[in-house]
Structure formats: structure tokens, C-alpha cells
Chain A
Amino acid sequence: MTAAAALLRAILAALVLTAVLGLGYPLLVTGVAQVAFHHEAQGSLIVRSGQIVGSRLAAQPFTSPRSFHPRPSATTPPYDAAATTFANLGPTSPTLLDAVRARAQAILRLERPYNPGLTVGGIPVDAVTTSASGIDPDISLAYAELQARRVAAVRHLPLTTVERLIRRNTDGRSLGFFGEPGVNVLALNLALDKASLR
């Protein structure tokens, strides 16, 4: 084969492979996914009264004392599910130290009225660190328990009700084994709104 012929053949091969692997394969997976797992394939969206209120898989901003708050986010603006990012601050970064201290102080101001005697040493680490995606939908059980007293008091709900809802909206380890348990903040806040209406 001459060099030109070899080049032509390689171009043909590249085009065929692109068609099969770059269009055929993803479109086949899309077809199966849309038919068999439509809800998941579309992004696990939560719809209330005909409107998309978010995704179970993406944290969204909550600042009201009535709500559970998600972990800090490094995206701009925070919890941007269309531009995920890490904070990328190193383990000795002074910027990170300032940020962690500021977040800890804000949590003390918010939670101490409901958790007397709370100190920085009682704040779970996930509450003051950015997540990897910027939209981590979960918080640790420890952080949920810390926020439970505030939410119960502000909403005038019994603490036991709030704690029951936390347990119900905790995703345990997959199959009881893989990963770590986490409390889904959006699902929990939706459940709380429902309980408060009753």
C-alpha cells in the first residue's frame, strides 16, 4: 500500500469508528436508559406541583434557620450544578484555615442558642469543609444531629419528629456495605415542610 492509500484507509477507519463508538454506542445506551430508567437518566429530578424544585443528587442553597443546611460549596455561586468544582486549597493553605475558622464561627453563632455549650471541637468536619463536587447532596449524621435542635425549635416540632425524619432520609451504605451513610438534605427539608403543614 502506498503512503497515500494507507492514509486514506486510516481516515476511513477513523470515521467508521467514530460513527460506531461515538454515535451508535452512546445513542444505544441513551435509548435503553430512557426506556428502562427514565427518572434516573434525566437527573433524578424532584417535581412539586408541576415544577422542578431540584435534583435528589444535587445540593441546593438553604440559609433559613427553618431548614437543614448543606455542606459548604466551592462553586460560584455556591451549589452551581452546572459548573462543579473543588476548592483546591492545600492542606497547609492559610486561605483554607481562614475559611474553616470563619465557617466554624458562623455555625457556632447559628447553632449555640439551641445547643448550649457547643464549641468548635463539637462541629463535625464535613460542616466546615467544601465538598468535592460543590453539590454534595449529603451531610454526615453528626452534622444533621447538630442542626436538628435548631430546626425543631424554629419549626415548633418535637425533636423526636425531626430525628425520625433524619433517619428516614438517611441513605445508608449501598446494600448495607458500600460507601458511607449520609443524610440527603433536600429530601429531608422537603419532608420537614410536609410535616410542618400537618
Chain B
Amino acid sequence: MSGEGLAQILAYVVALLALGYPLGIYMAWVYSERFRAPRPVAALERGFYRLVGTRADREQDWRGYAKSALLLMGVFSVLLYLLLRLQGRLPLNPDHLGAVAPHIAVNTVASFVTNTNWQYYAGETTMSYLSQMAGLAVQNFVSAAIGMAVLAAVIRGFARRSRRELGNFWVDLYRSLVYILLPLSLVVAVFLVSQGVVQTLAGHATAHTLSGATQTIARGPVASQEAIKQLGTNGGGFYNSNSAVPFENPTGLTNFVEMLAILLIPSAQVFMFGRMVGARRQAWPIFAAMFAMFAVGVALAVPLEQHGSQVLRSAGVDITQSAAQSGGNMSDKEVRFGIADTALWATATTDASNGSVNGGHDALTAAGGAVPLVNIFSGEVIFGGVGSGLYGMFFYVLIAVFIAGLMVGRTPEYLGKKIEAREIKLAAVGALFVPTLVLVLTAIAVVTHAGLASIFNLGPHGFSEALYAYSSQANNNGSAFAGYGATHFSTLLGSVALWLGRFVPLVAALAIGGSLAGKKTVPTSAGTFRTDSPTFAVLIVGVVVLTAGLMIFPALALGPLVEALS
């Protein structure tokens, strides 16, 4: 790795901490009962609560909370489906795009409502501006806010004693949207435009090129969508090539800011957790565990991509790094990002459940491509999606506490709460359901004729494409080995992955929160296993590697490992 590459990665980490920590403090305040918005803003907030028939102080138990969340997702699913199917007859469609095909629309609805943004379509040739703005970008906001709200509720479960309620879904939703996501998105969007990201309602531009050809340039309201796409860990590109397209991501600086936006809220939420449970030290082992897994991913991906692929080495072209070129595996990568920034992005986007890309993942080296795959398969808990990352991590944390309890022969405790059979059962469901779903769906996709039709590259790489597709959709990531094709079969199988992969962990996490909220706290004693120590960070990593890692290893052996050795 070059000195410049390393310096950029370090700068990234420093900036993430410097912004994430204060943001975490701010968010803990926003979700607290002490929070008061300034007067005119507060009036708008009360108006929204009146509209949905609630009041800020009317709280819900976990079932009520989950019902409200699922109801809103259901309503938005229907609205989005109608919008995509009817876009041809609606305004803000300057390039006259027709209705989105039904099977693509079904998958896209599932994908955007679940904060995944898997895309079986090419944005610029499929979606009208109205669909992008009022359909997809709205889901980018709302699906993120639902994840954030659920996390706040689950954390209250840890913090409260002998209560049934976890909070009010509509309050948490509104505050996530209006006091966190919207202001951040405005700042990031305007900055991106200043650097060259497109933001216009005019249709495509037609250029008469210097060599006498005609070039059509797709445009649209890109920057506004790009900002929330990154901040909300959504990842769905306005253009087919996502953040690799210069109109979405024109410079090294926009690339840096967009990468920061990917991990900003998920990392801030760890510090928010420490504040909300009134034990700031408890945040650090979780942060350390996430960061360690992130760092290992970066440390593997960058040199593997720099080393180049089998094809490029046997072709014999110059892949050495120098002042005049970044060298390495430049297949499906952009010159202005080179190897370090593309590999760093690939790691960050799959640690978070973002899934946007600034280079093609299908063309990553065999071993380099295994890094994003393993990141996704871990259940999107290495920072993870906004909200969903940390509530997903709680499953592993509780299992780690349980294992520690078995080792010392005591009833496990976490934050003063006894962790009992019900919580461990729910945590096991939360941690194991999605990996199992991935393996079952991948198996279906590679043994059926209908499933095999989607595979683009032959041999073990084709298997990796299928494994990546169902890992990405079930874990709500959304990045792709993009050669994997859209058929009726793959879009429907993908929809199953998307819905179940979102609902099961979300409901399990809320149930854990509800169960913990009802408990009393027990005082710590000399025998209590400390969960604010480096040892606990190591234990968390161990549990993630053992549960998710061992489940994916046999599948890795069939895909990337075989390919790397061939």
C-alpha cells in the first residue's frame, strides 16, 4: 500500500471518530425525554403527532411498537408499488420512461422498504425523476429512520427497569427524520453539488462530441438522493454504476465525504448507546469489536486488490504501483479512486448495510471479493445499517455474555439485567436466522434451472455471484456481484430474502428490548463478568467469527477459495 493510500485510510478513521462521537451525544439527547425542540419546530412536531393520532408522552410496549413500524412499512410498500407501476402517466418524467415491470417493481419495493437497495434495474434507464424522489429517496429516509427508531426503543429496554413501554414509534420516527437525517442530508447534498454532483429537473443533455458523435448524458435530482443514500445506509444508486459514476461521485474529496457518510450514523450510534444506558464505558468494547473487524477487512482488501487478478497478471500488463498510476486490479474501477479508495469503500459499504459501490464488486479479485462477502454475512453488525447494525450486534453481545456466564458458572448479566432463557432464545434466532436463510436460498438458486439462469460468470465465480446475491439481500446490504441477472425467479426469491431478512431480526430485537425493560436491575458484585473491558471486545469478535464465520466457511470454500486457488 502506498503512503498516500495509508494516510487516506487513517484520515478516514480519525474523521469518523471526530464526527461520530459528538453526533452520538446529540442523538442520545434527541431520543431522550429531556429533548425539547425550538418553539416553531416543536409546533410542526406536535402537528405530525396529531395527524397520526398520538402524543409524545403516549408510549407503546414492544408489540405496539412493532405493529406501528410494520404497518407503516406495509402502507409505503403499496404506495411505492403503485408509483413505480404508474410512473409513465405521472409528472416529473422528462425522459418519458414507461412503467417498471411488475417483477422488478415487487423486488424494488421489498428492497427499498427494507433499507437494502438491491437493484435489479438500471436507475437512469428505468426510474422517472418522480419515482427516484418521491418513491425511492423517501424510502431511503423512512427505512433508515425505522431502523434508528427501533434501535432507540431496544436501548430503552436495556436502560429501563420494571416497565412495559419502550417508547413511541411515531415520536422516534419523526425525530430520526427531522432532527437527524434531514439536516445532515441537506448539508451533504449541497456540498456534493458544489463539487460536481448533478442536481436538476431538466431531462438528459445531448452533446455533439469532438469526434462528431452524439452523446446522451443522463441527469436528474442526484445529489439530494446521493446524500440520504449514504447517510441512511441505503446504497441505491441514481445511476446503474452507482457511486462510480462521476455525476454521483466526481472527485477524491466527494468520495471521502460519501464514505464518511456511510459509517457516520452507525458508528455514532454506539456512543449514543453508552449515553442512553448511562454507562458510557459500555460503548467502547462494542466499538472496539466493530472497529477491529473493519480494520481487518481493510487490511486484507487493499493489498489483495493491489496485488491484481489472475487475468491481469497472466496478460502481463503493467500493474505495478507508481507515482504515475495506482496499478493493481483496475478492472471495473475508476482512475480517480484507484485501489486504496475503492477497496476501502468496498469494505465500509459492506460493513455498514449500505451497499453502494464506487467500483464493480464482480471484478474484485477472488480473495478481495471474499472480504465484502464475509462482511455482509456477519449479519451487518460491523457498524452495520443505521439502527439495524447495533440492534443486530446486541444478539451477538447477549450470546457473548451468555457464554461468559457459562464459563464462570453464574447467571449471565448485562448492564445489570439478568439474561435468561427467553432473551438467549431470541438472540439466537436473531443471530442465526439470516445466515440460515442465505444458505437455503443460495442452495435453491444453484440447484434449480430457473436459479442458474441468473448466473453471468461461469465456474466457481458464478457460485460466488449467487451466494453474494442472497447474502446481500437477506442481510439488507444491497451491493452486488452485478453480473447476477434479474429473472422472474431471482426477483421473487430475492424478495423473500429481503422481507424475512428485515422482519425477523427487527421483531426479535424489539422482543428482547421488551423483555429486558420489564426486569429489575441487580447490583454488580465481585463475581459479575465485566462487559466494559477489552476482554469483552475480544469475546464479541470471537462470537461473531464462530457463529457467522463458521456458517459461511463451507460456502466460501465452494466459491472464492476455489477461484483464488485456480
Contacts and interface: CB of A to CB of B under 8 A. Distances in A.
A162 interface: no
Contacts of A173: 4, 252
A151 interface: no
Interface string B441-457: 00000000000000011
A140 B321 CA distance: 11
A15 B335 CA distance: 42
Given A10-B71, A22-B133, A177-B7, A57 B246 contact: yes
Interface string B307-346: 0111110111111001111111111111111100110000
Interface stretch (B201-209, B294-302, B425-433, B517-525): B201-209
Interface string B189-207: 1100111111111101111
A71 interface: yes
Contact of A60 (B207, B241, B328, B482): B207
Contacts of B312: 100, 125, 129
A51 interface: yes
Contact of A61 (B213, B225, B324): B213
Contact of B337 (A5, A127, A180): A180
The dominant DSSP class at the A interface is mixed
Given A12-B51, A26-B225, A96-B311, A58 B253 contact: no
Nearest to A22: B134
Interface string A144-182: 010000000000000000000000000101110111101
A132 B457 CA distance: 17
Interface residues of A, number: 107
Contact of A125 (B125, B241, B325, B482): B325
Contacts of B68: 6, 10
Contacts of B125: 82-83
B-side interface size class: 35 or more
Contacts of A43: 198, 200, 205, 217, 219, 247
B241 A133 contact: yes
A141 to B, nearest CB: 4
B217 A26 contact: no
B211 A41 contact: no
A36 B11 CA distance: 29
Interface in A109-136: 120-136
B338 A86 contact: no
B255 A92 contact: no
Contact of B332 (A34, A40, A87): A87
Interface in A10-45: 10-18, 21-23, 25-26, 28-30, 32-34, 36-37, 40-45
Contacts of B198: 40-43
Q: Which of A7, A120, A179 has the largest number of chain B CB atoms within 10 A? A: A179
B186 interface: yes
A173 B326 CA distance: 12
B92 to A, nearest CB: 9
B215 A54 contact: yes
Which of A62, A122, A180 is packed against the most chain B CB atoms within 10 Å?
A180
Given A21-B142, A29-B223, A55-B207, A40 B197 contact: yes
B315 A128 contact: yes
A188 to B, nearest CB: 11
A100 B346 CA distance: 24
Interface string A61-88: 1111001000100100001111111111
B360 A88 contact: yes
A61 B193 CA distance: 26
Nearest to A54: B207
B369 interface: yes
B200 A42 contact: yes
Nearest to A179: B252
Nearest to B342: A132
B94 to A, nearest CB: 12
Interface in B108-130: 122, 124-125
A86 to B, nearest CB: 3
B545 interface: no
Nearest to B319: A125
Contacts of B256: 174, 178-179
B363 interface: yes
A57 B196 contact: yes
Contacts of A64: 211
B212 to A, nearest CB: 10
Contacts of A123: 317-318
Interface stretch (B72-80, B278-286, B405-413, B469-477): B72-80
Q: Which residue, of A67, A84, A89, A90, has the highest number of chain B Cβ atoms within 10 A?
A: A90
Nearest to A1: B53
B75 A14 contact: yes
B61 to A, nearest CB: 15
B210 A13 contact: no
A25 B382 CA distance: 30
Nearest to A92: B310
Given A18-B134, A34-B200, A179-B255, A88 B332 contact: yes
A39 to B, nearest CB: 9
Contact of A132 (B74, B76, B124, B359): B359
A93 B461 contact: yes
A10 B72 contact: yes
Interface of B: 4, 7-8, 11, 48, 51-53, 68, 71-72, 74-76, 79, 122, 124-125, 133-135, 137-138, 141-142, 170, 177, 182, 185-186, 189-190, 193-202, 204-211, 213, 215-219, 221, 223-225, 227, 239-241, 244-247, 250-256, 308-312, 314-319, 322-338, 341-342, 357-360, 362-366, 369, 456-459, 461, 464, 481-483, 563, 566
11 contacts: A6-B71, A22-B137, A29-B223, A30-B224, A82-B218, A83-B124, A86-B362, A88-B482, A142-B318, A180-B338, A180-B341
Interface of A: 1, 5-7, 9-18, 21-23, 25-26, 28-30, 32-34, 36-37, 40-45, 51-58, 60-64, 67, 71, 74, 79-93, 96-97, 100-101, 104, 120-143, 145, 171, 173-175, 177-180, 182, 186, 189-190, 193
Given A87-B360, A92-B309, 4 more contacts: A42-B200, A83-B218, A91-B461, A92-B310
